Chains A and B, each alone.
Chain A
Amino acid sequence: MNIQCAPDSPPIVLGTAARLKRSAAVPSLARRMEKMKGVLALRSSADKQSVTVRFDRGRITLASGVADDAGLVITLDMNDANAKPKVQGAAKHLAFALAAAKVLEPPTKSWQEEAKAFWEFAGDWPRMPKSMLVVCTDDHAEVQFGETGAPEFELHGTAKDLTRVFSGDAIVTEEWLSGKLHGVATLEHASVLTGRSIAWVMGQGR
């Protein structure tokens, strides 16, 4: 599988490439991607961002903007994970549309596994907290990463919201500021963790 975009691409391009890489790591989706051929575009309804994705039987290239030859154009609210997307061209390219819907929504693992993967990516970064306690408010299950003892950073949320953040579908601070997550942190740790979370969403470490 070859997924390519320019390194200075806009966030929507990098983020979409990251999601495709996550799907490519799942064998059944990788097989599906190897067969896909077509051009789709994603357009944000919340701002001016858009990306064109060209599938050519395992060779995938992404670029900013909506290409004229995009057979499938999906418009979605990037700020609302629950919003229903509007799709143009699905009737004409039904099989491609169904495959695209699958590979653009990579499956997630449990919040514990996603948190572990994030910590392995970010834990050693300079100025990161030495320990992070994650608490699931659904069942009060908790996992501490890094050093033992009193945690330097705590994050509390539902399994769904924790999974979104640690899988790279959302940025930790946005979820914290919106009230979906709660935390105990210094500004330093919150800031550095945000930097790592942004990098994770944009595909670093994938």
Chain B
Amino acid sequence: MNLDDSIRVVRTEGATPDGPLIGKYLSRDKFERSLPIGPALADFAFAYDLAGTPQLGWWHDWRRPFLGDVHQRPDLDTLTVIRPGVASVLVDFVDVDGTPLPVCPRSVLKAVVARLAANGYTARAACEIEGMAFTESYAEAKAKRFRDLTPLGAPHALAYLTHDAYRMRTLFDEVARRLDAIGIPWEAWSAEAAPGQFEINLPAQDPVSAADTAVRVRGVCREVAVDLGMSVTFMAKPTESYGSGMHIHHSLQKDGASAFYDESSPDRRSALMRNWIGGLIATMPAAHAFLTPTINSYRRMVGFVAAPLVVSWGEDNKSTALRVISRSEKLARVEHRLGAGDVNPYLGLAAILAGGIVGIEQAIEPPEELRALAWGLPDRYPYLPTSIVGAADALEKDKAFADAIGPVMAEHWMHTRRWEWMMFHTTGGDPEAQSVTDWELERYFELM
């Protein structure tokens, strides 16, 4: 390999299922000697919850019966210089013999993309990242127990205010500068509806690159915040104002042309797109477990404030879970609006593509399009699970979805979501609380 001569240190980083990036700073010599399998980490890095408590209660063969190692196999195509002398590379977690871990989020997404390819299709995807920024440093925020923080920008609950964005420019001018410098693509940023809230729009890429970009952009936001003495969180609902989501746009191609668009169809949706929507709808309760991953994610699910509540789709309907756009070949896509701000981009994308794959492999026809607001609907509409255990139960029941995303990943995730629920109840979370609890802020603010 040809590393730039100026590089002295390489940071390896890969996402755990919960989302945080883990890795090591390696000397150039150690990094080069570790190739191709990469440096080792204790496999327990994949068996701790976000508070550092070992997750016990289930088992899979990728784990060692005592305590062992896993490796971080660098994807050298992602190597980029992040500051003078220091490079960063994204990794896949593999076993000691180089086999991808079945619970490595990036590997799970790669496997789903490969299954899509086996069906004859490629995908493009783009993430919309939402988060919140505060003027307090992480240490100051922690000292205040993450309560009553000062939002960066103006304290108005209005979206898109350029005046508000101007007051956030110290942070985001630097974020944009660094992204440009390290070659991470981005399209736009703006102030969002909640005080301190922002949105960053990323370009359409192949799914793995789209997820790589999303995790790196989040990482750059956090690092710039650290350097400027501010704090940023991608928690779904850190305050009482609007929550943060991650809408994921995606489309399918075959032989270089849109597989979603059919000029001859009355609604311009191809049969493939109908099956794709049918699969996303049929698997949505199970996919919900991945797209809405934490105790805090569910606090975002409130009617009439952007988050979808029912299994639904509609043409250019931003209240439904799936906003379908089919008015032109160039624009034909699905905007999946269920993802919470704290979703792991690899697993969120894998869950979406897995659901679509189920739809095309089983030729599932979608239910009728919802031509109404998808909020405040009566009980006869299919509401999504409203708790982390409800979604875990749905995941356990959906064998076709589990097969598509990977049975080991599905089972591991089901167990970890139930674990998260148990930890909330038995380590200080308040089940009667109607708003974000101290337990959630302590557990998620700095890591999500």
Binding site for B on A (CB under 8 A): 8, 10-12, 47-50, 64-65, 78, 127, 173, 186-192, 194-195, 198
Contact for B56 among A10, A47, A186, A194, CB less than 8 A: A194
- The interface stretch among B60-68, B152-160, B165-173, B282-290 is B60-68
A65 CA / B67 CA spacing, docked (Å): 40
Q: Is B432 an interface residue (CB 8 A)?
A: yes
Tell me whether B427 and A187 are in contact (CB under 8 A): no
Contact for A194 among B57, B65, B67, B431, CB less than 8 A: B57
A65 CA / B57 CA spacing, docked (Å): 27
Tell me whether A11 and B425 are in contact (CB under 8 A): yes
Q: How far is the CB of A152 from chain B (nearest CB, A)?
A: 11
Tell me whether A48 and B431 are in contact (CB under 8 A): yes
Q: How far is the CB of B53 from chain A (nearest CB, A)?
A: 10
Residues of A within 8 A of B393 (CB): 8
Chain B, residues 291-310, CB within 8 Å of chain A (1/0): the string is: 00000000000000000000
Q: Is B381 an interface residue (CB 8 A)?
A: no
Q: Is B428 an interface residue (CB 8 A)?
A: yes
Contact for A198 among B57, B425, B429, B431, CB less than 8 A: B57
Tell me whether A64 and B64 are in contact (CB under 8 A): no
Residues of A within 8 A of B59 (CB): 127, 188, 191-192
Q: List 17 A-B contacts (CB under 8 A).
A: A8-B387, A8-B389, A11-B422, A11-B425, A47-B425, A48-B433, A50-B432, A64-B431, A64-B432, A173-B56, A187-B66, A187-B67, A188-B65, A191-B56, A191-B57, A194-B56, A195-B56
Q: Tell which of A10, A12, A192 has the most Cβ of chain B within 10 Å.
A: A10
A65 CA / B58 CA spacing, docked (Å): 30
Q: How far is the CB of B262 from chain A (nearest CB, A)?
A: 43
Chain B, residues 62-99, CB within 8 Å of chain A (1/0): the string is: 01111100000000000000000000000000000000
Q: How many residues of B contact A (CB 8 A)?
A: 23
A12 CA / B430 CA spacing, docked (Å): 12
Contact for B427 among A47, A173, A186, A198, CB less than 8 A: A47
Q: How far is the CB of B12 from chain A (nearest CB, A)?
A: 25
Q: Is B162 an interface residue (CB 8 A)?
A: no
Q: How far is the CB of B134 from chain A (nearest CB, A)?
A: 26
Q: Residue of A at shortest CB range from B423? A: A11
Q: Is B426 an interface residue (CB 8 A)?
A: yes
Tell me whether B66 and A47 are in contact (CB under 8 A): no
- With contacts A10-B431, A192-B57 taken as known, whether A187 is within 8 angstroms of B425 at the C-beta atoms is no
Q: Residue of B at shortest CB range from A66? A: B432
Q: How far is the CB of B396 from chain A (nearest CB, A)?
A: 12
A190 CA / B431 CA spacing, docked (Å): 29
Residues of A within 8 A of B390 (CB): 8
Tell me whether B58 and A187 are in contact (CB under 8 A): no
- With contacts A8-B393, A11-B425, A195-B57 taken as known, whether A48 is within 8 angstroms of B64 at the C-beta atoms is no
**Residues 369 to 422 of chain B near chain A (Cβ within 8 Å):** 387, 389-390, 393, 422
A78 CA / B425 CA spacing, docked (Å): 12
Residues of B within 8 A of A173 (CB): 56
**Residues 34 to 62 of chain B near chain A (Cβ within 8 Å):** 56-59
A11 CA / B431 CA spacing, docked (Å): 11
Q: How far is the CB of B380 from chain A (nearest CB, A)?
A: 22
A178 CA / B393 CA spacing, docked (Å): 32
Q: How far is the CB of A39 from chain B (nearest CB, A)?
A: 17
Residues of B within 8 A of A47 (CB): 425-429
Q: How far is the CB of B153 from chain A (nearest CB, A)?
A: 33
Tell me whether A191 and B432 are in contact (CB under 8 A): no
Contact for B65 among A10, A186, A195, CB less than 8 A: A186
Tell me whether A190 and B56 are in contact (CB under 8 A): yes
Tell me whether A48 and B57 are in contact (CB under 8 A): no
Q: How far is the CB of B41 from chain A (nearest CB, A)?
A: 16
Q: Residue of B at shortest CB range from A47? A: B428
Residues of A within 8 A of B57 (CB): 191-192, 194-195, 198
Q: Residue of B at shortest CB range from A189? A: B65
Q: How far is the CB of B407 from chain A (nearest CB, A)?
A: 14
Q: How far is the CB of B172 from chain A (nearest CB, A)?
A: 38
Q: How far is the CB of B122 from chain A (nearest CB, A)?
A: 38
Given contacts A187-B66, A195-B58, A198-B57, 8 further A-B contacts (CB under 8 A): A8-B390, A8-B393, A11-B422, A48-B428, A49-B431, A127-B59, A187-B63, A195-B56
Residues of B within 8 A of A11 (CB): 422, 425-426
Tell me whether A186 and B58 are in contact (CB under 8 A): no
Q: Residue of A at shortest CB range from B68? A: A187
- With contacts A188-B63, A188-B65, A191-B56 taken as known, whether A10 is within 8 angstroms of B425 at the C-beta atoms is yes
A188 CA / B393 CA spacing, docked (Å): 24
Tell me whether A49 and B58 are in contact (CB under 8 A): no
Tell me whether B56 and A49 are in contact (CB under 8 A): no
Tell me whether A65 and B66 are in contact (CB under 8 A): no
Q: How far is the CB of B27 from chain A (nearest CB, A)?
A: 32
Contact for B66 among A8, A10, A127, A186, CB less than 8 A: A186
Residues of A within 8 A of B389 (CB): 8
Tell me whether B425 and A49 are in contact (CB under 8 A): yes
Q: Residue of A at shortest CB range from B44? A: A187
A47 CA / B427 CA spacing, docked (Å): 6
Residues of A within 8 A of B431 (CB): 10, 48-49, 64-65
Q: Which 10 pairs of residues, A with B, have the shortest CB-CB distance?
A: A195-B57, A186-B65, A48-B430, A194-B56, A191-B56, A10-B425, A188-B65, A47-B428, A188-B59, A8-B389
Q: Tell which of A47, A186, A194 has the most Cβ of chain B within 10 Å.
A: A47
Chain B, residues 331-360, CB within 8 Å of chain A (1/0): the string is: 000000000000000000000000000000
Q: Residue of A at shortest CB range from B428? A: A47
A11 CA / B423 CA spacing, docked (Å): 10
A64 CA / B64 CA spacing, docked (Å): 38
Residues of A within 8 A of B66 (CB): 186-187
Residues of A within 8 A of B430 (CB): 48
